[in-house]
Amino acid sequence: DDDDDDDDDDEFTCPICYCELEEGEAALRLENCEHSYCEDCVRQYVLTAMDQGAVLHLDCPAPECSAPLDYYQVRQLLNTES
């Protein structure tokens, strides 16, 4: 009996908050590197960077990734803020 959760391919865990999300459910795949996070985490990451004046250097939150965040994706994310 091989129950390795292979049927859970539509779910992922946000590497920032460790919430389990179904693919597409408040999830955001970054355009320039394809890392995925929940929208709330990326929104908070961007807002924190803005508060610290670091908006010119917004990169993917992954420590090993230096891909810049896509301007239009960030703009859309901030425009959908609840």
Which pLDDT tens digit goes with each residue over 61-75? Answer: 999 999 999 989 988
* Residue whose structure tokens are 């590197």: 33
* pLDDT tens column, 28-57: 889 999 899 999 999 999 999 989 888 778
pTM (2 decimals)? 0.76
Handedness of CA 13, 32, 48, 76 (dihedral sign): negative
Which has the minimum average pLDDT: 4-13, 20-29, 47-56, 73-82?
4-13
Please report which helix (H) or strand (E) contains residue 20, including its range.
Answer: strand 20-22
Residue 19's identity, in one-letter code, is: C
